[in-house]
Amino acid sequence: MNTSPRVVARIADEFLADIRSGTLPSGARLPSVRQLARDRAVSPFSAAGIYDALVAAGAVEAHAGLGYFVARRRGARAAQPDAVVHEVRADSVWERRRDAQGRPVKVDAGCGWLPRDWQYADGVRAGWRAVARQNPLGMEGYGDAFGLAELRSHLTTLLEARGLLARPDQIVLTQGASQALDLVIRTCLQPGDVAIVEDPAYPALFELLRARGAKILAIPRTESGPDVDALARLLKRRRARCLFTNTTCQNPTGTTTSPAVAHRLLELAASNDVTLVEDDIFADLAPQATTTLAGLGELRNVIYISSFSKTIAPSLRAGFLVAPPALARELARAKVMTSLGSSELLERVVLQILTHGHYRRHVKGLREKLASAHARVAREFEARGVELAFHTQAGLFVWAKLPSRDSVSKLWRRALSQDVLLAPGELFRPDSRATEYWRFNVAQCDSPELMRFLEGL
């Protein structure tokens, strides 16, 4: 008897529904594997798989020699019987996500990733297959602290195309750009040090800085990049240790730093002994190569960060940082303290993706899709009274004002009631102050639900 994975999943879901509704009470003993196989007309192997899935979900407990039991709720409130799992995931509403639990969401208009069918699934599958044929697999030990040498060597070529000359010993591979930011913050900042950020900017950066005990000061983000006049005035009053900036297709405004602003940033950093932390994770989504601070400054006073989560898949946690050799060694040591080493197995897959197949063609296609999405969203938003702060044409995001005088909370809940999850602008501000602007992901805005919500405003 050979039971399909779909049948196994369906039976496991039925058990979960009975457990959540209380039909199967806490602590109840479940049939043995053989009995379950007979009851549901599946193989014993499939019956064991059903219980394995329920144990992994925390709904069932396995007791050696006794069997399987519904997990006891130790003081926790039981899940409601009408709880519904999100149809899509959300990343841009951390402070509000809890409020959305238990409701279906058909579109996350402000999330931070590409739609599923835009991601490089074929390349990932091919990469895993190619690595699986390798011997050895790269499973021994914890991996080099700097990361897979072959991938770092390949990155030097990719970085050269971005105008950045670096050696492999200046590159540290990380679990996404977020780990790179964390390592830089741990290494370069002490509690009480001043860190300058853009307003608005990436919310997780604020949390990492607060966790380190840094003093956060902000400068406005303009159409051409960070407001360098505001930065100059700030640096006359306060001594700062680091400035964090998102160079290309900035999150959440979608703007790209101009060459003139980049030069001025480097001048101010050099004269005030400020380390520039350049987060450039959207570089590959720009239609042409953009100016990088690290390239212009030859890594003097600059740490460069990037990743592949925006072009391959968000769950492929593969990023890297580039720094002067001595600082790169410090950052690699910090990485060992938090993650012991590097995921060489994953890094081998990334190397396969980058060097084989049609990755360049895939990225070119992404740029074309995003350009079309920007043009379409601009037209559709304008027709519905939505005002764009900046008329960007590349990357994932636009920063937009809704045609309503209702409060942020009221608008957010109104959208949620129509199965649309929005990303309030206050989440992207270092002081969390209210703003009329919201982050929209142009790749996720091709949705009748979103358009109906906007028309209703």
Beta-carbon contacts of residue 205 (< 8 Å; ≥ 6 apart): 181, 197, 244, 279
pLDDT surpassing 70 at residue 73: no
CA angle 61, 56, 132 (to 5 degrees): 140
Q: Which of 79-83, 367-371, 427-431, 432-436 has the lowest mean pLDDT?
A: 79-83
Pairing of strands 302-307, 319-322: antiparallel
Axis crossing angle, helix 176-188 with helix 325-339, rounded to the nearest 10: 110
pLDDT surpassing 70 at residue 80: no
Is there a shared CATH topology between the 5-70 domain and the 97-112+361-456 domain? no
Residue 49's pLDDT is what?
Answer: 82
Residue range 185-210, pLDDT digits in tens: 999 999 999 999 999 999 999 999 99
Nearest to 193 by CA among 202, 201, 185: 185
Nearest to 69 by CA among 22, 26, 9: 26
Residue 250's pLDDT is what?
Answer: 95
149-155 mean pLDDT: 93
Residue type, 299: L
Q: CATH for 122-355, among 3.40.50.1860, 3.40.640.10, 3.40.50.10860, 2.130.10.10? A: 3.40.640.10
CA 417 – CA 412 distance, rounded (Å): 9
Q: Which of 5-19, 173-187, 312-326, 408-422 has the lowest mean pLDDT?
A: 5-19
Residue 157's pLDDT is what?
Answer: 92
User: pLDDT band at 138, cuts 50/70/90?
Assistant: low
3-state secondary structure 68-111: EEECCCCCCCCCCCCCCCCCCCCCCCCCCHHHHCCCCCCEECCC
Residue range 217-245, pLDDT digits in tens: 999 999 999 999 999 999 999 999 999 99
Residue type, 217: L
Residue ranges per structural domain of the chain: 5-70, 97-112+361-456, 122-355
First to last CA, the chain: 56
**CATH homologous superfamily for the domain 97-112+361-456:** Aspartate Aminotransferase, domain 1 (3.90.1150.10)
Per-residue burial over 425-442, b = 16 or more CB atoms within 10 Å of its CB, e = otherwise: bbbbbbeeeebebbbbbb
Residue 103's pLDDT is what?
Answer: 54
Residue 245 in 3-state DSSP? strand
Q: Which fold has domain 5-70?
A: Arc Repressor Mutant, subunit A (1.10.10)
Residue 78's pLDDT is what?
Answer: 38
Nearest to 79 by CA among 71, 87, 68: 71
Beta-carbon contacts of residue 15 (< 8 Å; ≥ 6 apart): 24, 30, 50, 54, 59, 60
CA 407 – CA 438 distance, rounded (Å): 12
CA 206 – CA 124 distance, rounded (Å): 32
pTM listed for this prediction: 0.77
Sign of CA dihedral 103, 107, 113, 119: positive
User: pLDDT band at 76, cuts 50/70/90?
Assistant: very low
Nearest to 195 by CA among 176, 177, 210: 210
Residue type, 153: S
Task: Answer yes or no: are the C-beta atoms of 320 and 166 closer than 8 Å.
Answer: no
Residue range 302-358, pLDDT digits in tens: 999 999 988 888 888 889 999 999 999 999 999 988 887 778 888 999 999 998 879
Residue type, 290: T
Residue 123's pLDDT is what?
Answer: 87
Q: What length is written for the chain?
A: 457
Per-residue burial over 27-50, b = 16 or more CB atoms within 10 Å of its CB, e = otherwise: eeebeebeebbeebebeeebbbbb
Report the percentage of the chain scoring pLDDT > 70: 91
373-377 mean pLDDT: 95
Strand (E) or helix (H) holding 210? helix 203-212
Task: Answer yes or no: are the C-beta atoms of 181 and 156 closer than 8 Å.
Answer: no
